[in-house]
Amino acid sequence: MNLHGTPLSIIIFALFVAAVLFLSFFFARKAKSAAGYYAAGGQIHWAVNGISFAGDYLSAASFLGICGMIATLGYDGFLYSIGYLAGWVVALFVVAEPMKRMGKFTFTDALDAKFDSRGIKLTAAISTLVVSICYLIPQMNGAGSLVEPLLGLPHWVGVILVGAIVIVIVSAAGMTSTTYVQFLKGGLLLIFSTILVGFVLSRGLSTEPVGLDDGAPGGEMTVQATESQLQEQGYALLHTTGSLLKYDRDGATTWWKREADGTLWRAQWSSGDQVNGVAGGVLEPVGRLRQIGGMSAAEAADGTGAVGPLAFLAHLTHPDTRVEQWQKQAVTDEKGAKYAVYSPKTVSGTDEMKPGVKFKVHTTTEKLNFVSLMMALFFGTAALPHILIRYYTVPSPACARKSTIVAIASIGFFYVLTLFLGLGAAVNGTVNPADNNMSAPLLAMSFGGVLFAVISAIAFATVLGTVAGLIVAASGAVAHDLMDRFGRMELTDRQKVRAGKIAAFAVGIVAIVLGIVFRGVNVSFLVGWAFAVAASANLPAILMLLFWKRTTAAGIVASIIVGIVSSLGIILTGPEMFAGPYGLTAEQAWHPLGQPGIISIPLSFLALIVVSLVTKNRRVAEAA
Amino acid sequence: MLHGPARHAGPDPASGYKTRLGVVMFIIYCVVYTGFVMLNVLSEGRTMQVIVFGGLNLAVVYGFGLIVFALVLALIYNRLCTQKERELSGCDGAEEVGS
């Protein structure tokens, strides 16, 4: 099945864009001052700010990425939901009120509030830019990837479209318009994700779910056979590699996956421009239940009917339930031709609903990587610059606190929904095996065009809201931190606004260029970089500034530098980069760690403590 | 109405109390979160597959529990902070406490 946009999805997206552009120009007249531009005048209601937090934070990585990971990996994808939400606890209990109390427009303001140090201004601004750019690239790339199948436009058009809209939003009214775009998006995302989960539960579970084009999701891709049956049907075995078998019949190539019991399941493949033997073809959506625990085969085919949320999960957790998990393998055939083969693996409900598919914890390295990832998720959220600047948009620290609680409630609720969305996609034949990011839109499509249109439009809105927040943070770092404060340009209020708009335009252009340059590259790992850098470079500085009176400006500078260098250094020399972007093997990496947090976070703390003690004559006399 | 100059924070007499409470709450959540991570690491996932409630395994219950627990702690924290702010400032609304 080929994904394609419907006129309705285009109309809904156009209406959303028109609404946000109207809001931007409406507020532009009221955001003439620097406070208005960078912090929405500090007058946003805490409830609005709380939902805007959700709109800011729930990026494409959350909505599309986590749902996709759950759809293909089961519970392992949900670990991200848990970690991302837990990070808000750090934000509420430790960071929210002090950040509001100490800061003005940017995260750098708060760090520098007690020191007036050019070193802090420079390093914190650089950290903001590194984190924001790491976060921006996947968002922009994702925008292009969404536009291609949904609107039928080229990738670069999607990137430019999103970039241009966001530049207009941010340049028009800065944080004010950005706030309402994020509020709108956050609200819509929560409402329609809830509706989609309602549809999933009302459909229930079945080994023969209905919904997609032909009423049989996965179509011929769920064909099962034995080797002798294939031979009887005229298939000739040409090549075997591991559990994958390549057959030919009448010149048509097919790949099959052999399971432990000898059963063969039809796989999908791509090689060059060939997809399943069709030039320029597309992969069939896949994913279904093969058995539902506690039910006969006939009962499972009829399905459970509508189920409650706990019953839905309990059915899937049953040890006798069998679920397909689709995997991609790069293989070479007997002629040396390279194939990407997508094949199903049958797992029990027990394995589907517990960690261990992606995040294995058997070896010491695997354990360290897992702990490291969970540390980065936990400590990264409260140190993301585009999140922290939202604290300056409310009137008081008490409002900062309350808005964080609204954020925890709304984001926590959404992350609970991700488990149902991801699992719903996994068992309703709505997973694109080559790109699991489209699982949520495909799942919506199985319930009809209207829901698909709305969910697709929200997917675009998701990118718009997050990119707007990132561009505000990055442009604030350039115009406010670097030009005005580090560069001592002594800008007037009006000049600060103009500098912010020019910086937003420049950052937006950079984002567009990077989005186009990275086309086709899987850059989702960059979100992980953003969290790792934020947790390593920013959070130790924030925590020590708040809780250790001997912290010095030099200590903070050292902490940020060590945090950035160590986290990026560990990532760049690690196995994931060698096996991925470098095109080498994981064994050639300098060390086995894929996640840096367990090393880089303590290292950053240590650097701050040592340098602060060495430079103690400049320590803070009294904590605020 | 929404876009005047940002308010300047004044002194917050409840600041010390809120900081201490926040640290305690943070440590409590940190222990529970660390328990989730370490349980998974030390038992290599085996404990996570144990059915504990209504057909749901520990992984799902603990995962949902962490999300719900975050909200419960947040509401308790807000309640206690708001009470202290009112007590020390004599104001009716937390928003007016300022700082």
Task: Specify if A565 maps to a domain.
Answer: no
pLDDT digits (tens, 9 = 90+) for A259-277: 888 888 889 999 888 888 8
Give which of A429, A241, A419 is closest to A344, Cα–Cα.
A429
Q: Given CB atoms, is B45 within the 8 Å cutoff of chain A?
A: yes
* SS3 assignment, position A431: strand
Q: Given CB atoms, is B7 within the 8 Å cutoff of chain A?
A: yes
Q: Span A352-371, mean pLDDT?
A: 89
Does A136 share its domain with A185?
A: yes
Q: What is the DSSP letter of A95?
A: I
Contact B66 A88 (CB under 8 A): no
Nearest to A41 among B2, B56, B82 (CB): B2
Q: Given CB atoms, is A187 within the 8 Å cutoff of chain B?
A: no
Does A101 share its domain with A223?
A: no
Task: Specify if B72 maps to a domain.
Answer: yes
Q: Has residue B91 got a pLDDT over 90? A: no
Contact A313 B40 (CB under 8 A): no
Reported confidence tier of residue A433, pLDDT bands at 50, 70, 90: confident
Nearest to A371 among B41, B49, B98 (CB): B41
Q: Span A302-324, mean pLDDT?
A: 94
Last residue of a domain, one of A524, A559, A577: A524
The residue of chain A with its CA nearest to that of B98 is A396
pLDDT score recorded for residue A127? 93
Domain that holds residue A65: 7-25+33-203+382-524
Cα–Cα distance measured from residue A158 to residue A407, given in angstroms and rounded to the nearest whole number: 29
Q: Given CB atoms, is B31 within the 8 Å cutoff of chain A?
A: no
Q: Span A316-339, mean pLDDT?
A: 91
Q: What's the distance, CA B92 to chain centroid?
A: 23
Task: Specify if A152 maps to a domain.
Answer: yes
Q: Given CB atoms, is A462 within the 8 Å cutoff of chain B?
A: no
Reported confidence tier of residue A152, pLDDT bands at 50, 70, 90: confident
Q: Span A157-185, mean pLDDT?
A: 88
Residues A108/A125, Cβ–Cβ less than 8 Å: yes
Contact A89 B29 (CB under 8 A): yes
Q: Which of A27-36, A440-449, A532-541 has the highest mean pLDDT?
A: A532-541
pLDDT score recorded for residue A26? 84
Contact A101 B99 (CB under 8 A): yes
Q: Has residue A16 got a pLDDT over 70? A: yes
Q: Which secondary-structure segment (H or E) carries A30?
A: none
pLDDT score recorded for residue A458? 85
Contact A396 B97 (CB under 8 A): yes
Give which of A503, A596, A563 is closest to A111, Cα–Cα.
A563
- CB environment B44-56: b (16+ within 10 A), e (fewer): bbebbbebeeebb
Reported confidence tier of residue A38, pLDDT bands at 50, 70, 90: confident
Does A477 share its domain with A338?
A: no
Task: Specify if B94 maps to a domain.
Answer: no
Residue with tokens 């080797």: A227
Does A441 share its domain with A335?
A: no
Q: Which of A47-51, A210-214, A438-442, A500-504 has the highest mean pLDDT?
A: A47-51
Does A51 share its domain with A168?
A: yes
Does A345 share its domain with A393?
A: no
- Would you tell me which residues 54-93 of chain B have a C-beta closer than 8 angstroms to some C-beta of chain A? 54-57, 59-60, 63-64, 66-68, 70-71, 73-75, 77-78, 81-82, 85
Q: Span A209-232, mean pLDDT?
A: 64
Contact B70 A89 (CB under 8 A): yes
Contact A85 B70 (CB under 8 A): yes
Number of domains in chain B: 1
Q: Given CB atoms, is A30 within the 8 Å cutoff of chain B?
A: yes
Task: Specify if A175 maps to a domain.
Answer: yes
Q: Given CB atoms, is B14 within the 8 Å cutoff of chain A?
A: no
Cα–Cα distance measured from residue A549 to residue A409, given in angstroms and rounded to the nearest whole number: 33
Pick A485 or A319 by higher pLDDT. A319
Percent of chain A with pLDDT over 90: 42
Reported confidence tier of residue A404, pLDDT bands at 50, 70, 90: very high
Cα–Cα distance measured from residue A228 to residue A242, given in angstroms and rounded to the nearest whole number: 19
Q: What are phi and psi of A249, to 5 degrees?
A: -140, 120
- Would you tell me which residues 308-337 of chain A have a C-beta closer than 8 angstroms to some C-beta of chain B? 310-311, 313-315, 317-318
Task: Specify if B55 maps to a domain.
Answer: yes
pLDDT score recorded for residue A198? 97
Contact A350 B49 (CB under 8 A): yes
* SS3 assignment, position A288: strand
In this structure, the strands spanning A278-279 and A338-348 are unpaired
Count of CB atoms within 10 A of residue A298's CB? 8
Number of domains in chain A: 2
Pick B27 or A525 by higher pLDDT. B27
pLDDT score recorded for residue A624? 45
Cα–Cα distance measured from residue A289 to residue A140, given in angstroms and rounded to the nearest whole number: 34
Domain that holds residue B46: 16-85
Q: What is the DSSP letter of A384?
A: -
Give which of A575, A599, A577, A576 is closest to A589, Cα–Cα.
A575
Reported confidence tier of residue A215, pLDDT bands at 50, 70, 90: very low
Contact B6 A317 (CB under 8 A): no
Does A286 share its domain with A401?
A: no
Reported confidence tier of residue A1, pLDDT bands at 50, 70, 90: very low
CA distance B14 to chain A (A): 11
pLDDT digits (tens, 9 = 90+) for A77-107: 999 999 999 999 999 999 999 888 887 788 8
Q: Which secondary-structure segment (H or E) carries B51?
A: strand B51-53
pLDDT score recorded for residue B13? 84
pLDDT digits (tens, 9 = 90+) for A557-613: 999 999 999 999 999 999 888 887 788 888 889 999 888 999 999 999 999 999 999
CA distances from A610 to A328, A508, A605, A613 (A): 47, 39, 9, 5
Give which of B68, B11, B77 is closest to A92, Cα–Cα.
B77
CA distance A277 to chain B (A): 40
Q: How many CB pairs under 8 A join A and B?
A: 175
Q: What are phi and psi of A275, to 5 degrees?
A: -125, 115
The residue of chain B with its CA nearest to that of A414 is B67
Q: Has residue B95 got a pLDDT over 60? A: no
The DSSP secondary structure of A584-596, one letter per residue, reads: S-GGGSSSS-S--
Percent of chain A with pLDDT over 70: 95
Does A161 share its domain with A254?
A: no
Which of the residue ranges A243-247, A452-456, A620-624 would you say has the lowest mean pLDDT? A620-624
Q: What are phi and psi of A140, to 5 degrees?
A: -70, -40
Contact B99 A404 (CB under 8 A): no
- Would you tell me which residues 214-233 of chain A have a C-beta closer than 8 angstroms to some C-beta of chain B? none
Contact A42 B5 (CB under 8 A): yes
Task: Specify if B46 maps to a domain.
Answer: yes
The residue of chain B with its CA nearest to that of A30 is B3
In this structure, the strands spanning A274-275 and A268-271 are antiparallel
Task: Specify if B25 maps to a domain.
Answer: yes
Q: Given CB atoms, is A92 within the 8 Å cutoff of chain B?
A: yes
Give which of A114, A99, A170 is closest to A391, Cα–Cα.
A99
Residues A570/A600, Cβ–Cβ less than 8 Å: yes
Cα–Cα distance measured from residue A118 to residue A112, given in angstroms and rounded to the nearest whole number: 9
pLDDT score recorded for residue B3? 36
Pick A113 or A567 by higher pLDDT. A567
Contacts for A160 with CB less than 8 Å, ≥ 6 apart = A512, A516
Cα–Cα distance measured from residue A461 to residue A386, given in angstroms and rounded to the nearest whole number: 17
Q: Has residue A370 got a pLDDT over 80? A: yes
Q: Which of A240-244, A599-603, A619-623 has the highest mean pLDDT?
A: A599-603
Last residue of a domain, one of A502, A524, A546: A524
The DSSP secondary structure of A476-508, one letter per residue, reads: HIIIIIIIIIIS-----HHHHHHHHHHHHHHHH
CA distance B21 to chain A (A): 8
Which of the residue ranges A63-72, A208-217, A281-290, A371-380 would you say has the lowest mean pLDDT? A208-217
Last residue of a domain, one of A494, A524, A554: A524
The residue of chain A with its CA nearest to that of B83 is A398
pLDDT score recorded for residue B98? 39
Which of A53, A93, A350 should be substituted to probe chain B, the one whose Cβ sees the most B Cβ atoms within 10 Å?
A: A93
* SS3 assignment, position A291: strand
Phi-psi region of A368 (alpha: psi -120 to 50; beta: other; left: phi over 0): alpha
Q: Span A52-75, mean pLDDT?
A: 88
Does A386 share its domain with A338?
A: no
Task: Specify if A458 maps to a domain.
Answer: yes
Reported confidence tier of residue A138, pLDDT bands at 50, 70, 90: confident
Contact B57 A317 (CB under 8 A): yes
Q: What is the DSSP letter of A268?
A: E
- Whats the size of chain B, residue-wise? 99
Name the packing angle between helices A539-547 and A597-614 (round to 10°): 40
Q: Span A345-370, mean pLDDT?
A: 89
Q: Has residue A192 got a pLDDT over 90? A: yes
Contacts for A335 with CB less than 8 Å, ≥ 6 apart = none
Quote the tokens at residue A193.
């994700």
Task: Specify if A44 maps to a domain.
Answer: yes
Contact B55 A318 (CB under 8 A): yes
Task: Specify if A494 maps to a domain.
Answer: yes
Contact B23 A317 (CB under 8 A): no
Task: Specify if B97 maps to a domain.
Answer: no
The DSSP secondary structure of A144-192, one letter per residue, reads: HHHHHHHH---HHHHHHHHHHHHHHHHHHHHHHHHHHHHHHHHHHHHHH
Residues A344/A257, Cβ–Cβ less than 8 Å: yes
Task: Specify if A185 maps to a domain.
Answer: yes
CA distances from A192 to A40, A63, A447 (A): 28, 12, 13
Q: Indicate the residue type of A292.
A: I
Task: Specify if B40 maps to a domain.
Answer: yes
CATH of the domain at A457: 1.20.1730.10
Give which of A506, A486, A472, A403 is closest to A34, Cα–Cα.
A472
- Would you tell me which residues 407-436 of chain A have a C-beta closer than 8 angstroms to some C-beta of chain B? 408-409, 412, 415-416, 419
Reported confidence tier of residue A295, pLDDT bands at 50, 70, 90: very high
Does A160 share its domain with A237?
A: no
- Chain B hits for A100, CB-CB cut-off 8 Å, are 9
pLDDT score recorded for residue B8? 56
Count of CB atoms within 10 A of residue A421's CB? 25
Does A163 share its domain with A276?
A: no
pLDDT score recorded for residue A218? 41
Reported confidence tier of residue A479, pLDDT bands at 50, 70, 90: confident
CA angle A169, A170, A175 (to 5 degrees): 115
Q: What are phi and psi of A348, to 5 degrees?
A: -80, 160
Q: Span A140-144, mean pLDDT?
A: 82
Does A225 share its domain with A190?
A: no
- Chain A hits for B72, CB-CB cut-off 8 Å, are none
Which of the residue ranges A7-11, A261-265, A364-368, A531-535 would you say has the lowest mean pLDDT? A7-11
Q: Has residue B73 got a pLDDT over 90? A: yes
Task: Specify if B44 maps to a domain.
Answer: yes
Task: Specify if A583 maps to a domain.
Answer: no
